[in-house]
């Protein structure tokens, strides 16, 4: 059998390496970067300097750590600033690691489902990293998957169960790995483009892991569906995403663009006679407006 294992580790407290052999997936969890971060953290009494974090953690860490630092502008200074402002997110992050054995089992199952439904799926490792309080997760066809441990552990609004949080975020980011690079990594997307990329990933996460990851959406949107979706239609060509995407805080979730994108994607899938072909088209989405038109979606009444 051909075995595919790509070694990434990002700004990492932990990384999960998922390798695919034919139609199976196994999960390996490595904690080298976890040990590195918390060795520095503990030696400094929970208050490492920006210089220590840069030199002894970021610069000395794995290649994956270097990638994450570059992608999300993670520096020793920025970690130190977040440590000073929100020390609890780092002190409690280690506790979240206790769920990783069960997360690994459930991620294996989700990955097997993805490969069954989409045989050409790419299955790089997942890197769980310590960063500057965000992002919760990143997925890209080029750089693979990265999870921000301290961010995910603190984002209780995302899902109250930390094990579920890990599983659904990992599934969501695996969808991004399959998507079209030009849209996933577009630095200047429109509201429609980014919302469909995120919403499609959320729909695929539901398809392979059983539930969508953003558990806060029902309470946030109930009774406001028409209002939200009508406003979304008016903004689809905007490049200011702040009303729709990447607008959550540690304490409160938002991301209404992801919610609308999920609903458009689900409408597209439900309308399709051939579900496997529909999944291929969802993951291969490259023309957002054509996809929107084909979905048959309209703002809720």
Residues 170, 247, single domain; the answer is: no
Domain boundary residue among 110, 144, 178? 178
What's the pLDDT score for residue 159?
A: 93
Q: Quick one: pLDDT band at residue 178, thresholds 50, 70, 90?
A: very high
Provide the whole-model pTM.
Answer: 0.89
241 in any annotated domain: yes
pLDDT at 16 over 70: no
231, pLDDT greater than 80: yes
Q: What is the reported pLDDT for 11?
A: 35
**Among 19-33, 147-161, 275-289, the least confident range:** 19-33
pLDDT of residue 34: 76
Span 224-231, mean pLDDT?
98
**pLDDT for 28:** 53
If asked whether residues 149 and 30 sit together in one domain, one would say yes
pLDDT for position 299: 96
In which band, very low, low, confident or very high, does the pLDDT at 13 lie, cut at 50, 70 and 90?
Answer: very low
Q: What is the DSSP string of the chain?
A: --EE------SEEEEEEEEEETTEEEEEEE-HHHHHHHHHHHHTTT---HHHIIIIIITTS-HHHHHHHHHTT--HHHHHHHHHH-HHHHHHHHHHGGGHHHHHHHHHHHHHHHHHHSTT---PPEEEE--SS--SEEEETTTEEEEEHHHHHH-TTT-SSHHHHHHHHHHHHHHHHHS-HHHHT-SS--HHHHHHHHHHHHHHHHHHHSS-S-TTHHHHHTT-HHHHHHHHHHHTT-S--TTTSS---SS----HHHHHHHHHHHHHHHH-S-HHHHHHHHHT---HHHHHHHHT-----
Whether 139 and 211 share a structural domain: no
Residue at which a domain ends, from 147, 178, 209: 178
pLDDT tens digits for range 185-226: 888 999 999 999 999 999 999 999 999 889 999 999 999 999
Q: Looking at residue 249, what is its pLDDT?
A: 87
Statement to judge: residues 234 and 171 lie in one domain: no
Residue 264's domain comprises 187-295
In degrees rounded to 5, what are phi and psi of residue 126? Answer: -105, 130
Q: Are residues 211 and 158 both part of a single domain?
A: no
In a domain, 273, yes or no: yes
Q: Is the pLDDT score of 160 beyond 50?
A: yes
Q: Any idea which of 2-11, 33-42, 133-142 has the lowest mean pLDDT?
A: 2-11
Which has the higher per-residue pLDDT, 173 or 250?
Answer: 173
pLDDT tier at 62 (50, 70, 90 boundaries)?
A: confident
């Amino acid at each position: 059998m051909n075995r595919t294992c790509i070694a990434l580790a990002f700004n990492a407290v932990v990384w999960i390496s998922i390798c695919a052999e034919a139609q199976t997936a196994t999960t390996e969890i490595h904690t080298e970067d976890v040990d590195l971060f918390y060795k520095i953290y503990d030696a400094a009494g929970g208050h490492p300097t920006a210089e220590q974090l840069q030199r002894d953690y970021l610069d000395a860490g794995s290649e994956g750590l270097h990638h994450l630092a570059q992608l999300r502008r993670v520096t020793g200074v920025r970690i130190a600033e977040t440590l000073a402002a929100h020390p609890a997110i780092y002190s409690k992050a280690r506790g979240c690691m206790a769920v990783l054995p069960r997360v690994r089992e459930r991620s294996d199952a989700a990955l097997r489902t993805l490969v069954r439904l989409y045989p050409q799926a790419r299955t790089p490792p997942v890197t769980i990293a310590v960063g500057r309080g965000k992002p919760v997760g990143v997925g890209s066809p080029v750089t693979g998957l990265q999870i921000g441990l301290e961010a995910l552990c603190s984002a209780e609004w995302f899902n109250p169960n930390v094990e579920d949080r890990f599983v659904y975020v990992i599934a969501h980011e695996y969808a991004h790995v399959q998507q079209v690079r030009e849209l996933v990594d577009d630095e200047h997307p429109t509201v429609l483009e980014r919302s469909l990329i995120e919403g499609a990933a959320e729909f695929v996460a539901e398809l392979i892991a059983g539930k969508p990851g953003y558990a806060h959406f029902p309470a946030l949107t109930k009774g406001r569906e028409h209002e939200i979706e009508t406003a979304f239609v008016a903004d689809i060509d905007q490049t200011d995403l702040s009303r729709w995407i990447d607008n959550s805080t540690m304490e409160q979730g938002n991301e209404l663009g992801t919610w609308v994108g999920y609903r458009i994607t689900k409408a597209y899938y439900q309308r399709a006679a051939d579900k496997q072909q529909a999944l291929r088209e969802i993951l291969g989405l490259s023309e957002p407006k054509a996809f929107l038109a084909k979905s048959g979606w309209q703002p809720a009444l």
